[in-house]
Structure 1
Amino acid sequence: MKIRQSLLLFTIAAILLVSCGGGQTNASAADATYAYLEALANKDKDTVVSLTCKDWEEQAMLEVDALMSVGAQLNNVSCSQVGEEGEDALVVCSGTLDLTYNDEIRAIELDKRTYTMTMEDGQWRVCSYK
């Protein structure tokens, strides 16, 4: 009986590990873009950099620094891949990044930007936007 219970627990643990494993590496380009925007709104520089390609890291840090003196919140954000450019994925997000300073809210409409996402080290990363 103990062997059967142990085997059952082992099987459940293995299923959970397989279903939860992978994390960000299995995320789509759109999911990675959303995670980048979320980290940006939270002013989480480490996460922003981890979601950025090496060529874009300096720009990403500047964006986080620019938000340090304002409140930032994502509002009704949804991202989807709209195309490809070579091996890169092109992603557009709807919704806004609302910036608050002295009780004044300025909304940045996210659908005005197309993010270029590059697969780097097995993970989609923001590499620029137009």
Structure 2
Amino acid sequence: MRTKLTILMLALSILPAACGSSASGGATTAVEGYITALATKDQAALISNSCADWEDDALIELDSFALVEVTIDGMSCAEAGTDGEVTLVNCTGMLNMSYNGEPQSLNLADRIYEVIEQDGNWLVCGVR
């Protein structure tokens, strides 16, 4: 019985860290989760990494990837500073896309992501 209780307590202590990656990993983790959600077309993950004010824009971005195959190549994100309460995040790497066999690429360095902390969660809330 004692072993089961110890295992249960350990599992419950690990669970919050495993569930909300953007909550525990900071601004860069939120952006990486956002980009990954776009590439994998995971609407729920995209919304969970977006602030309420950005959700409509995030869904429009997601719709733009609906008909293309997307892979992420070499993504790495880092905080680039702040602008008021907004943390700015730059990424490197590429989103490689294919539509009807025609390849296209999107350089992740072409955008700066605006991230806010809201109730302990880091959320993408815009791009520049």
- Give the TM-score, by structure 1 length: 0.87
Residue 15 of structure 1: which of 10, 17, 20 is its match? Answer: 10
Q: How many Å apart are 1:9 and its aligned residue?
A: 2.9
> Identity across aligned pairs (percent)?
33
SS in 1 for 2:67: coil
Counterparts in 2 of 1:52-63, with a 5 A limit? Answer: 52-63=50-61
Residue identity matched to 2:12: L
Instruction: Give the match for residue 102 of structure 1.
Output: 100
- Any conservation in 2 of the 1:27–1:123 contact (CA below 8 Å)? no
User: Which deviates further from its counterpart, 16-25 or 47-56?
Assistant: 16-25
Cα separation, 2, equivalents of 1:43 and 1:99: 13
Unaligned ranges ≥5, structure 1: 1-5
Work out which of the two has the higher radius of gyration on C-alpha atoms and give 1 or 2: 1
For 2:42 and 2:3, locate their aligned partners in 1 and report how far apart those are by CA, in whole Å: 40
Segments ≥4 residues shifted beyond 6 Å: none
After TM superposition, the score normalised by the length of structure 2 is 0.89
Secondary structure, counterpart of 1:21 in structure 2: helix
- Matched position secondary structure for 1:29: helix
Match of 2:111 in 1: 113
Q: Equivalents in 1 of 2:103, 2:118: separation in Å?
A: 35
Aligned length: 125
- The residue identity in structure 1 corresponding to 2:9 is A
Residues in 2 aligned to 1:61 and 1:55: alpha-carbon distance in whole angstroms: 12
Does residue 1:69 correspond to 2:67, yes or no? yes
